[in-house]
Chain A
Amino acid sequence: DQQVKQNSPSLSVQEGRISILNCDYTNSMFDYFLWYKKYPAEGPTFLISISSIKDKNEDGRFTVFLNKSAKHLSLHIVPSQPGDSAVYFCAASGGSNYKLTFGKGTLLTVNP
């Protein structure tokens, strides 16, 4: 039973445009959400996170939005750059449960 779902295996956008990556979760106990970026042959790199007490967190070109009622979060990248091309993983943890539950990832390709 997959508790964190990334329904789009891949996304392709033009350089300079907005990239929107989506993530849905089913476990109501999750209260902390993260996005990791992964390049081939490397480990996941932390990108940005959001606590369930917020609905938005921004860091430079990256913004994460959380809709608790819909159990949905999204990552916006504006403007997108070719170096952003990577696999993006959504992850969640809950309460005293520190372990991360990951989605399957979305491959983002930013075309020059």
Chain B
Amino acid sequence: EAGVTQFPSHSVIEKGQTVTLRCDPISGHDNLYWYRRVMGKEIKFLLHFVKESKQDESGMPNNRFLAERTGGTYSTLKVQPAELEDSGVYFCASSQDWVDTQYFGPGTRLTVL
């Protein structure tokens, strides 16, 4: 069974540009989470989808971040416009039910110059 996949693995962009990160959860997992780790800090929750609905987006830093999960399958996280402090590793995780173990993808390393 394929695990959680994320694309791209790395992205380097200029401040002010737009970047879209993609996450494909484990097949059949209704719950999808986004987390972010800024260098030297802990991994922090961004938001949680149940199928296509946003269950909790309390961790989203500001309105420059937009997450979608159309059709309840893959999810995208768009940062527009990107700022220097958005640099970090963005992880996606999925679980079958919300009480189940969350399985993480390899992450996307975003560098904003």
Contacts and interface: CB of A to CB of B under 8 A. Distances in A.
Contacts of B101: 34, 46, 49
Contact of B42 (A42, A98, A105): A105
The bracket for how many chain B residues form the interface is 20 to 34
Interface string B75-113: 000000000000000010100001101111111000000
A41 B101 CA distance: 21
Interface string A39-66: 0011111100100000000000000000
Give the contact-size bracket for chain A. 20 to 34
Nearest to A96: B98
A75 B102 CA distance: 19
A89 B33 contact: no
B106 A41 contact: yes
B44 interface: yes
Contacts of A100: 33, 35, 43, 45, 102
A76 interface: no
B104 A44 contact: yes
Given A49-B101, A98-B98, A43 B107 contact: yes
B8 interface: no
A104 interface: yes
A46 B45 contact: no
A102 B102 CA distance: 13
Nearest to B92: A43
Interface string A82-108: 000000010100000011111111000
Interface of A: 2, 4, 34, 36, 41-46, 49, 89, 91, 98-105
Which A-B residue pairs are the 3 nearest by beta carbons?
A: A43-B104, A99-B45, A102-B43
